[in-house]
Structure 1
Amino acid sequence: MDIHTLEVLGLFLLISVVLFAGVAKRINVPYPILLVLAGLVISFVPRVPRIPLNPDLVFLLFLPPLLYASAWQTNWREFRRNLVSITMLATGLVGFTVLGIAFFADHFVTTLDFTSGFLLGAVVAATDAVAAGSIARTLGLSPRITGLLEGESLVNDATGLLALEFGITLLTSGHSLSIPEATFRLLWLIAGGLGVGLLLGHLMIFVERWITDGPLEMAASLIVPYVAYLAAEELRASGVLAVVACGLYLSRRSASYLSPAARLQILSAWGSLDFVLNGVVFLLIGLQLPYILAGIHQYSNWTLVLYGLTFSLVLIALRMAWVFPGAHISFWIRRRFSHQPAPIPETRSLFVIGWSGMRGVLSLAAAFSLPVTLSNGQPFRQRSLILFLTFSIILVTLVGQGLTLPPLIHRLGLAGNSELEDEMLAARYRVLSSAVEWLQQQRENASGDDIQNLDELLRRYQQRVADVTTYDRITRAAGQPDEATRASAIFFQKRVALLRHVASIERRTLLKLRDENAIGDEVMRTIERELDLTETRFDELT
């Protein structure tokens, strides 16, 4: 494939991602779902270039930055609080899924045996790190549920790939690893991956203290996930856990080693990169169906559809069967050994967690990485069926569960949870109040011009405290506000509208100065950025 063809394919993917993600936004559908469906439709259009999904491309190019971005955005408090529950899902559920799929394949599908069923279970055991999390945040699910889903999808990638490694060993050598070998391998994968990630995190903090330029810090942050992944894989540890550990550690420490300007640039750049990579990945999933169908001819269409739906339902049932008793075990362990007085989630919350087990590109890449031939030179005949079943499971769980998850969350009364908003308002109040308190203390000992400066700052911060207090009272009384609250809401809305209008006057004047060549573009962009930050503050309180 020449450079020109690669350029055309890359441009085609990017245009498709932007186009269909924009459509998804307009029709209020999660963009991963629409991109998969778009890729599926495009794959049957004549003369559309075929783009195969190379597993090495996924594992080495896409997976490290996507995991790193997800780890960076993970709520560490919820991750730590739910660590036992996450471990139960990321290890216990993975093993339960692998063995359950293997048992079902061995006893109910004549063309699959226990080994090929084990491989299929290992391929589809890990949930997708993007789809469920994005839907949960959009609908305002509780931070505990969102944190649990995101934490599971970050950690179970490693255990799923470990199960896949065991399955391939069983397939190619004819025997499984012994219990001591398997235990040592698992411990080294975990300890080695975590060790590499944390070590690299420490090193990056040391390096970052010597870098003060935003673009350089962004370049360094882009290198980190690849270094963590490749270093761990070279040591035969878990590259996935290395990236996750490094991302969680650096995210937690970013407030101390990143400058404010660099943090704004890095978060903005990573947000765009994360969206583009995820979009390309989900589009590629849909484009793979022709390749999968080309290798499977010995089954009728009806048989393939029946197999695809059956295995999808079995996978969903296995997750549901694990989630409810697993939650009780997890919370018993948390109360008994961690002394956490957390209550067991409601049945409706557990049902949403069970229904959020969507699969994605990691499963399809793992299926494509299965060997074509066995160690004796014979072809691995079940490989094409495993590929088709994996694609079917991704389609059913991502599209079927993804489209039904929003109405399900609304129907169960879990949408629009105010826990996060209450926490944010309380934090804003305490942060601003501490600033007011400090300014008042400074004013007591000030004199002359200092008093005038402090009074001006005090008025600004006291007004911001008043805005937060008013907004909090308005939102709490949204159902049946009294006259005083209604008057406060009208006054608050008028004030925000006035501030927006003043900002628009400033922006129009700035553009006029630029158009009259009174200022250059560099000055224009600097002042424009200040206005953007000011207007963003208005958005936070409307």
Structure 2
Amino acid sequence: MRCAARAVTTTQGFVRLSMTIVITTLILLLTVATSGVLIGLLPFRLPRPLVQIALGAALAVPHFGLHVRLDPELFFLLFIPPLLFADAWRMPRREFRRLLGPITALALGLVMVTVLCVGFFVHWLIPQVPLAAGFALGAVLSPTDAVAVSAITGNAHIPPRLLHILQGEALMNDASGLVALRFGIAATLTGAFSLPKAALSFVIIAAGGLAVGWALAWLFAQIRHFLTQWRGDDPSSHVALLLLLPFGAYLMGEHLGVSGILSSVAAGMTLNSIDTLKGELTTRMQNRGMWAMLEFVFNGVIFVLLGQQIPVIVAHAGEAKASIGVDWWHLAAYPFALLALLMVSRYLWVWIMLKLFVMRARRRGENVARVSTRIIATTTLAGVRGAITLAAVLSLPLTESDGTPFPGRGVFVFIAAGVILLSLALATVTLPPLLRRIQLPADDPRATEERDARAASARAAIQALDYMREEHKAQAEDADEASLYAEVAARVMAAYRPWLDPDSDAEDKRRARRGFGMERTLRLAALNAEREELYRLRREGEINDVTMRRIMADIDLTEASLRSGRRSGKR
């Protein structure tokens, strides 16, 4: 009887815990969804991350009683692999190869500089903190958050080259910062540090992570290609498997003792390079929609969880203050001092890096313009710290091997949270006006490249259609059918001809573009009329829901193409 009663109690406790997890998850999702509505209601524009952090902090106030403790290991497993995988998949291969020098200088060189500068500065500022522990804090503060920068800049145009550098830096410096953190913690706990051993371990961990990610992505692509050839395309199953790939890469990397984060990044870049979704329309569309929704939800939950930790960190600030024997004013000044150090060191590093790259380019005979101070300032202020920094600082051990508290841990948590909030606030105030003052080329290189690519694809389409028309003409036995086929082919080719000669400024070209704008407006009006008629037919019972959804799907696809400007006069 006692065993049965104990089993019932255990089952009831498990059910209550499961319900708590489900309800908490739903509240977090509701908070993320509500943040967009609140932004639209505010009389002034605030970046979504700041609103989500504020909502998370409000939920953690004791009156609401909702607090989610951020477990670093669970956080790194659940949120980081899919987000980095998606960013790596979207990272342009050509730009990544061309900008590998600046990206490496920021993601590796600047991380090492940050670790050293912060370590020595914190040891000088707080003598009770050992130098090795200061290096650990430097590693915590080194990763940047490109997602927060994108949300802050909003509709402001970031120069393409700068955007790719920031994206590449954020992809790579998470791994380098966390590996450096591992060495900092080990040095603090053991009191010993060997630079050659650390450098060798870093190379092995990084190279191993990249190799694991590449191998898993290549194996996934081969298996998927085989299944597609054998059974045909199964979009839902393949997208679900693709969603699991970054988690598998991360877990495999961590299990083998290498960088799971770099493994996820390598998997995304590998799939991008081998075009694993080539030729499968439905899978590509489902995949695109799934990742867009997942990124929105996961990024939102990350910032809400970040806000959830702030009241607890502030509540324990007194303990942190007592551990190092300083007053409140000094404790409050530490995040400002560290942020100033991070900004100054980043500005100097970016300035030196760009000067060296310009000098090397000029020695090769390239005509390179002088580096703008606004570009350097923008790159500096875009070094926003985010949830990776908070998760990293919370992963610091509570005690050393002998049971004594880890030196400065409470102060480090307070400083990291303060630097995150201050860097977000600073970027919110300064980045948008800076970006508006940056002079961009009159003709966006991306737009020019897109026009040229569309012209090349249009020429290929016209050649293929012309070949099919001639082939059908030679094989047709009925003259009327051959004439009809030629007429239809000419009509299809006519849709491609406006994309030819994209750089022409002739009057007929400008007139044709105005005509495309009119055509877009008329087509959208016609699609809206179709949609209204379908709703009317369903209301009156003349068609059922299945019929309406099938026709509506075609209408929605056409409207999405028109509204994106891909097939309109936006050329």
**TM score, norm. by length of structure 2:** 0.86
Q: 1:341 to 1:66 in 2, by over 3 A?
A: farther
CA contact (8 A) 1:67 1:154 kept: yes
Displacement of 1:451 in angstroms is 4.5
Aligned match of 2:412:
386
Letter of the structure 2 residue corresponding to residue 181 of structure 1: K
Per the alignment, residue 479 of structure 1 pairs with: none
Report the counterpart of residue 456 of structure 1 in structure 2. 488
Change (3 A) 1:168 1:214: same
SS at match of 1:169: helix
Amino acid corresponding to residue 506 of structure 1 in structure 2? E
Which one-letter code corresponds to 2:89 in the other structure? W
1:499 maps to: 523
Cα distance in 2 for residues equivalent to 1:410 and 1:376: 55
**Superposition map of 1:284-363 within 5 A:** 284-297=305-318, 298=322, 299-330=326-357, 345-363=371-389
Give the Cα–Cα distance (whole angstroms) in 2 for the partners of residues 38 and 333 of structure 1.
48
Query: 1:364–1:525: structure 2 CA closer, same or farther, 3 Å change rule?
Result: same
- Per-residue Cα deviation, 1:203-242 (whole angstroms, up to 9, x for no partner): 1111212042111011111110011011111111111111
Shifted more, 458-467 versus 286-295: the winner is 458-467
One-letter amino acid matched to 1:455? E
**TM-score, normalization: structure 1?**
0.90
Pick from 8, 15, 27: which aligns with 1:12?
Answer: 27
CA RMSD of superposed structures (Å): 2.8
Question: Which residue number corresponds to residue 214 of structure 1?
Answer: 235
Larger mean CA deviation between 495-504 and 256-265 belongs to 256-265
Partner SS, residue 155 of structure 1: helix
Cα distance, 1:378 vs structure 2: 0.7
Counterparts of 1:258 and 1:250, CA distance in 2: 14
Give SS of 1:378's match.
coil
- 1:137, distance to aligned residue in structure 2 (A): 7.5
Matches within 5 A, 1:105-144: 105-135=122-152, 138-144=155-161
Question: Could you tell me how far 1:120 is from its partner in structure 2?
Answer: 1.1
Asked if residue 367 in structure 1 is aligned to residue 421 in structure 2, the reply is no
What are the residue-to-residue correspondences of 1:155-174 with 2, within 5 Å? 155-174=172-191
Q: CA deviation at 1:65?
A: 0.9
Partner amino acid for 2:351? F
AA at the equivalent of 1:192: G
Task: Give the aligned residue type for 2:554.
Answer: E
Q: How many residues align?
A: 532
Shift of 1:508: 2.2
Q: 1:256 to 1:412 in 2, by over 3 A?
A: closer
CA positional deviation for 1:517: 3.5
Find the aligned partners of 1:9 and 1:268 in 2 and give their Cα distance.
25
Is contact 1:133-1:149 (8 Å) kept?
no
**Which range moves more in the overlay, 242-251 or 517-526?**
517-526
Q: 1:270 to 1:424 in 2, by over 3 A?
A: same
Flag the 1:506–1:47 CA change in 2: closer, same or farther, 3 A: closer
- Which amino acid in the other structure matches residue 19 of structure 1? T
Superposition pairs for residues 266-281 of structure 1, below 5 Å?
266-281=287-302
Per-residue CA distance 1:277-300 (angstroms, 9 max, x = gap): 110001111111122123221354
Aligned to 2:96: 79
C-alpha distance 49-414 of structure 1, shift in aligned 2 (>3 A)? farther
Alpha-carbon distance in 2 for matches of 1:455, 1:351: 59
For structure 2, which runs of at least 5 residues remain unmatched after alignment?
1-15, 474-478
1:34 to 51, 72, 80: 51
Offset from partner CA, 1:241-289 (integer Å, 9 cap, x none):
1110110111232355561110110111011011101100011111111
Cα shift readout 1:323-382 (whole Å, capped 9, x = no counterpart): 110123345667889x99876754332321122101111110010000111111111241
- Matched residues in 2 for 1:424 and 1:135: separation? 27
How do 1:47-86 and structure 2 match up within 5 A?
Answer: 47-86=64-103
Q: Supply the distance in 2 between the matched residues of 1:432 and 1:29 (Cα, whole angstroms).
A: 42
1:313 counterpart SS class: helix
SS at match of 1:2: helix
For residues 266 and 510 of structure 2, the distance between their equivalents in structure 1, rounded to whole angstroms, comes to: 48
Question: Which of 171, 180, 186 matches 2:202?
Answer: 186
- Equivalent in the alignment of 1:198: 214
Question: Which residue among 424, 432, 444 is the counterpart of 1:406?
Answer: 432
Distance 1:387 1:451, change over 3 A: farther
CA offset at residue 103 of structure 1? 1.4
* Corresponding position of 1:243: 264
Pick closer, same or farther for the CA change 1:516–1:341 going to 2, 3 Å. Answer: farther
Q: Does 1:225 align with 2:246?
A: yes
Among the aligned pairs, what percent are the same residue? Answer: 33
C-alpha distance in structure 2 between counterparts of 1:445 and 1:459, whole Å: 17
Against the structure 1 CA distance between its residues 417 and 301, is the aligned structure 2 distance closer, same or farther, given a 3 Å change threshold?
A: farther
Change in 2 beyond 3 A, CA 1:285/1:458? farther
Which one-letter code corresponds to 2:535 in the other structure? L
